[in-house]
Amino acid sequence: GAVVSQHPSWVICKSGTSVKIECRSLDFQATTMFWYRQFPKQSLMLMATSNEGSKATYEQGVEKDKFLINHASLTLSTLTVTSAHPEDSSFYICSASLGQGALGYGYTFGSGTRLTVV
Amino acid sequence: QKEVEQDPGPLSVPEGAIVSLNCTYSNSAFQYFMWYRQYSRKGPELLMYTYSSGNKEDGRFTAQVDKSSKYISLFIRDSQPSDSATYLCAMNTGGFKTIFGAGTRLFVKA
């Protein structure tokens, strides 16, 4: 089945540094990937939609310059948290759309990245 | 008012019980309804997918959609400790943006 690999699974960084999170579709091509943020006991919050070869579409309230998204190929999207601060600490999850068809708009999710900024 | 409302629980049941998980929504344009299971510190995995109203069954899982009431349900029969997880409902109007519920934490006791 469709697999999305996300790395790293957890990362601790110092305040002010940047962190890159990778999301790869392993056995299918994902023209569209999504980046979510999840706080404890809360729902997934869509941050941005990443389209291969074009600029990402950010949700209202998400800082484009802080959360840099690059989708350079059909199998790789990256999220870079720039100048991270403790309030950026969260669980970040990527997903890829399985497109139209039998599964419609179901998604395959990565395993998530736990970011802790100290 | 949130577009999708889901009781966060936690819901604790004994092994073998029938579990009922529910979500309500306000946007009548939603057409695609999904249930995801999320284990701790992992990404969600798609469990069930339903288009429009009706029932869908897959093994021990049954998904129901009642568009007239804007209410969806997931039933788990013969619940097992391995079913302990957070269950998220999700909905989509047909575009790429999917709205997720907050998730219900389920504990199945052996």
| Best to test chain A binding among B97, B104, B106 (most A CBs inside 10 Å) | B97
Distance between CA A33 and CA B68 in Å, rounded? 32
Whole-number pLDDT of residue B56:
93
* pLDDT confidence of residue B40: 87
Kindly give the confidence (pLDDT) of every residue in chain A, 118 residues in length, as a single tens digit, with 9 standing for 90 and above.
Answer: 678 999 999 999 999 999 999 999 888 888 788 999 998 878 889 999 988 888 899 999 999 999 999 988 888 999 999 999 999 999 999 998 766 543 445 678 999 999 999 9
**Predicted pLDDT of residue A101:** 42
Q: Residue A83 pairs with which residues in a beta bridge?
A: none
Tokens of A94: 């990527």
∠ CA B91-B86-A99 to the nearest 5 degrees?
35
Tokens of B15: 């092994």
pLDDT at site B62: 97
Q: From the list B44, B88, B92, which residue is nearest A105 (CB)?
A: B92
What average pLDDT does range B36-47 have in this prediction? 90
Window B:33-92, CB contacts with A under 8 Å? 34, 36, 41-46, 49, 51, 88, 92
